[in-house]
Amino acid sequence: MLGEIGINTFWDFLNYFPRKYIDRSTIKSIGALVEGEDTTIVGEILDTKAEGLSWKKSRFVVYVSDYSGHVLKLIWFYGTAYLKEKFKIGDIIAAHGKVTMFGYEPTMTHPEIDVIKTRDRESENNQNELATVSASDYDLFNAGGIVGFYSTSEKMKQIGLTSKSIRYLMKRLLDEVEKEIPNIFSLEIQAQENLISFAEAYRLIHFPLSQQTLIDAKRTLKWTELFLLQFMFALRYRNQKKKESMFKFVCKQGNDSFEDKLKSVIPYKLTQAQQRAVSEINENMGAGTPMNRLLQGDVGSGKTIVAIHAMMRAVDNGTQCVLMAPTEILATQHFIVIKKLLDQYDLKSALVVGKQTKKLKQEIITGIENGSTQIVVGTHAVLESNVLFHKLGLVIIDEQHRFGVLQRKALQDKALSPHLLIMTATPIPRTLSMTLYGDLDVSVLNEYPTNRKKVITKVLFESERNKVYENIRQEVAKGRQVYVVYPLVEESEKIDLAAAVQEYERLKVEVFPEFTLGLIHVCTTVIEVGIDIPNASIIVIEHAERFGISQLHQLRGRVGRGEEQSYAYLIYCGHISVESKERLNAIESTIDGFKLAEIDFKLRGAGNILGTEQAGRVDALKIANLYEDRELLESARDAAFRLSKEDPQLRTEQNRELRKMYIKFFGRMSELINVG
């Protein structure tokens, strides 16, 4: 039955954690009950009876009394036969529910019940004992204590699984397997990290005895998840550092150095962050082991020129380099920049994309294979089996989250242990970066070129659109260019949004007949990355509420790339949600992509910040939250990297159980991440 919802082992079930908890640990006396409150009582059954003329109209009533001398009436409108067998006069029960007062008579309808024990109603001590009870005195399962509630899908409900039935099954499972759950960490790690035993953590995460025991259980299981994930990265990082590379790139100087020639043609000075990144990359490529580095920077921070520096170091050392981008527009943009900078020198570059004639493609492939072409820029077309490199030493992947794991591996496999530089224009919060790219060295570009001005951003309602049109006319009159972005390409009958094709015609005919307009509709946000037009000074984003923070920030980055003041207008339509308003306000308030990434991380979590490809990398986290548990992540990472040096194979006796657990949960993922 559980297999139908992906629960195939007892570990799968143990890791099906409650989605929320309700604290029912405060027990009130019946005499103190108040209308409308949700509360728990513990009392003795005085009487039971079935009432009604027929089974359709029957109800079952239980009368309960406690030490206060008052009586509580419990009512059910179904299940009379079952309830008659369940409740016996003299039983001690806990009941939790919403109180309704009929006159002075308190009532609960369909309460949660725990039958605590059968007691002798004639006992003189019965009521006196009830006067001093608390939730911790009993094994309260439904009615008292801190009760966990589990998510239940429609499929689960169809096979009879409710939150209550899951609790019963979980208790039965724990009773059977708790003794088999080993302590996976050494006593030293447990003491250092303030962890409780693994078995105790699973018992208390499902059936906490108090708020503190729930905190302790969550901390232990979260830390364990993060540790295992980080240990996987630690091994990956360690293994990379042990590899030998065919290519140990050294600095070459003089007239034959393309790196020196590049410095002479760049018309501006690199920022300190760019200089630092170039230095880190050069150090990696000269170390004798394959470089695996992430270059992350905000829009406009100058990642491309840093990558070109790395290319020149590779070419100076007699090897080829390839830069793979996710779209033809972005690949073409990179290719134009490279040719513009380097065509005056004896350096041959080539663009490999899907839409090329057979003759041209063959000429390009021949040049790559015989080594006469040193720099290759392309889309996934460079992955084709007939694209063979003469001596590939450096692989650069731009916006890598848009490529699949196997695509990235296919490119790396075109050489023997090449250096790898991954670039992303999506700023990533540090905690997320540690989880997504925990096995990579990281360079961060957090500065902007000095000639750039801050883009002025305004959030406007659709009724203010004409003001934007006037600003557009003023900017175009100065010789500037403008982007207008829409969320849909064609009109949809289901979604009433402006469509790029129709709006293009409207703007061309009705609004700006005096201007020349062009339409890009490979996809509506194809300009999100890669388009570099310094002359563009305005971007208008229609239905901005439909875009995420990262998209809006990337789109805004298409302007402000020259020396003139630029503007971004975010136009929203109709009533928008609170979260949408938060996103727009965030974009309006700052141009710092790293601050925006933190806001996005807080609003949405890790799942969609970088798309589904990256979300898959954190699927192993069932309970830890990367935003909320940043301190635990730091601690777990330190411990994991430390242990990977001390006992990388987890062969010592004290780490034997940890090795079993690591292989059980992360063996397959560990293999996959080797191509990540």
pLDDT at 582 exceeding the cut of 70: yes
Query: What is the reported pLDDT for 501?
Result: 75
Question: Which residues are 409's β-sheet partners?
Answer: none
Of the pLDDT bands very low, low, confident and very high (cuts 50, 70, 90), residue 126 is low
Question: Are β-strands 320-324 and 392-398 bridged in parallel, bridged antiparallel, or unpaired?
Answer: parallel
Average pLDDT over residues 249-274: 86
What is residue 650's predicted lDDT score, i.e. its pLDDT? 87
Q: Is the pLDDT of residue 456 over 70?
A: yes
pLDDT confidence of residue 46:
93
Q: Which residues of 342-354 are buried (b: 16+ CB within 10 A; e: fewer)?
A: beeeebbbbbbbe
User: Is 402 a residue whose pLDDT tops 70?
Assistant: no
Cα–Cα–Cα angle for 264, 266, 272, rounded to 5 degrees: 105
Per residue in 421-453, pLDDT tens? 998 877 777 777 777 777 788 898 888 777 678
Place of tokens 């006796």: 653
The CA-to-CA distance between both ends of the chain, in Å, stands at: 35
Q: Say yes or no to pLDDT of 318 above 90.
A: yes
Residue 324: phi, psi to the nearest 5? Answer: -105, 130
Provide the pLDDT for residue 601: 79
Higher pLDDT, residue 55 or 211: 211
Q: Which of 50, 65, 159 is nearest to 105 (CA)?
A: 65
- For residue 525, is pLDDT > 70? no
Mean pLDDT along residues 30-45: 90
| pLDDT at 610 > cutoff 60 | no
Q: What is the pLDDT of residues 177-203, one digit of tens each?
A: 888 898 899 989 999 999 999 999 999
Q: What is the pLDDT of residue 536?
A: 87
Task: Give the bridge partners for 40, in sequence order.
Answer: 27, 96
Q: Has residue 73 got a pLDDT over 70?
A: yes
**Band of pLDDT at residue 53, cut at 50, 70 and 90:** low
pLDDT at 134 over 80: no
DSSP E strands: which ranges in 513-643?
Answer: 536-542, 567-572
Beta-strand relationship, 419-424 and 292-297: parallel
Percentage above 90 pLDDT, the chain: 29
Task: Please give the residue that has the higher pLDDT: either 78 or 470.
Answer: 470
Q: Work out the pLDDT band at 523, boundaries 50, 70, 90.
A: very low
Q: How many CB atoms within 10 Å of residue 496?
A: 10
Q: Is the pLDDT of residue 18 over 80?
A: yes
Query: What is the number of other CB atoms lying within 10 angstroms of the CB of residue 530?
Result: 22
What's the pLDDT band for 405 if we cut at 50, 70, 90? low
Nearest-5° Cα angle at 150, 147 to 154? 145
The answer to whether residue 344 scores a pLDDT higher than 90 is no
Q: In this structure, what DSSP letter does residue 626 have? A: T
Check pLDDT > 50 for residue 672. Answer: no
Please name each of the domains of the chain with its CATH number.
20-149 (2.40.50.140), 258-285+301-424 (3.40.50.300), 456-590 (3.40.50.300)
Residue 4 pLDDT grade (very low, low, confident, very high; cuts 50, 70, 90): low
Give the mean model confidence (pLDDT) for residues 302-308: 92
Q: Is the pLDDT of residue 1 over 70?
A: no
| pLDDT classification of 539: cutoffs 50, 70, 90 | very high
Whether residue 259 contacts residue 252, with contact meaning beta carbons closer than 8 Å, is answered with: yes
Mean pLDDT, the chain, rounded, equals 83
Half-sphere exposure of 476 (CA within 13 A, CB side): 15
pLDDT of residue 564: 83
Contact (CB, 8 A) for 451 and 552: no
Q: Is the pLDDT of residue 24 over 70?
A: yes
Q: State residue 161 phi and psi, 5-degree precision.
A: -95, 115
